[in-house]
């Protein structure tokens, strides 16, 4: 019995010591990347980085279609000096007085048919919250503010976002922020390409 256990241990140690698999060595040579793919990748990465710098949270990232969308971002207030999503003073004044949401969509397309260069087109949609404010008129209503009710208790972030957007009025496009984001993405893409 002792011999059998020593033999099993020796076999295990031998297998563990000599059977190392190296997963870092590629099995096939790397595929050459075309200039068009390099250009698309630079614009894609620049778009992602720029949206994150502006505090947008990425929602949909469809690389094949060349589309990035963000979750709704609550507009900055006048004292939030570290944020950049208000391109004009009127934008942050309005966001301070009323809840404004901005949703960005970046579409990456070739600059010309059969061209190897790509450019980003940015759309920023503005929405104003129209949800009625919660009024507390009794002690029991005040206690209810801190207690989740029914389906709210089990709601996911996506459910809350859909609920939030259901109470919004669309205001159109934020052209000044679209132009600002487009310039920043183009500059970041040039930096990533090394130009």
Domain segments of the chain as ranges: 33-133+157-193
* C-beta of residue 118 within 8 angstroms of C-beta of residue 111: yes
- Please indicate whether residue 160 or residue 119 has the higher confidence score (pLDDT): 119
Q: What pLDDT band is residue 185 in, cutting at 50, 70 and 90?
A: very high
The tens digit of pLDDT for each residue in 47-90 reads 999 999 988 999 889 999 999 999 988 877 777 777 777 777 77
Please name the helix (run of DSSP H) or strand (run of DSSP E) that holds residue 171, with its range, or none. strand 168-173
pLDDT-wise least confident of 6-10, 25-29, 110-114, 153-157: 153-157
* CATH classification (class only), 33-133+157-193: alpha beta
Helix (H, G, I), strand (E, B) or coil at 23: coil
In tens, the pLDDT along 123-144 reads 999 888 776 666 677 776 776 6
The shares of helix, strand and coil residues in the chain, as percent rounded to the nearest 5, are 45, 20, 35
Rounded distance, CA 155 to CA 109, Å? Answer: 37
**SS3 at position 149:** coil
Q: What is the pTM of this model?
A: 0.67
Name the residue with higher pLDDT: 183 or 112.
183
């Amino acid at each position: 019995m002792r011999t059998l256990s020593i033999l099993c241990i020796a076999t295990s140690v031998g297998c563990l010591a000599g059977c190392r698999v190296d997963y870092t060595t590629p099995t096939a040579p790397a595929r050459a990347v075309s200039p068009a793919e390099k250009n698309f990748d630079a614009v894609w990465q620049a778009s992602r980085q720029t949206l994150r710098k502006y505090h947008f949270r990425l929602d949909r990232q469809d690389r094949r279609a060349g589309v990035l969308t963000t979750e709704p971002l609550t507009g900055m207030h006048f004292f939030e000096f570290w944020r950049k999503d208000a391109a004009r003073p009127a934008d942050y004044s309005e966001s301070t007085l009323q809840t404004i949401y901005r949703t960005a969509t970046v579409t990456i397309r070739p600059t010309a048919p059969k061209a190897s260069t790509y450019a980003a087109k940015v759309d920023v949609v503005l929405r104003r919250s129209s949800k009625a404010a919660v009024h507390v008129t009794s002690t029991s209503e005040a206690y209810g503010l801190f207690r989740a009710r029914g389906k709210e208790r089990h709601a996911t972030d996506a459910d809350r976002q859909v609920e939030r957007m259901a109470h919004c009025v669309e205001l159109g496009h934020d052209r000044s922020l679209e132009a600002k984001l487009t310039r920043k993405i183009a500059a970041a893409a040039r930096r990533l390409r090394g130009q």
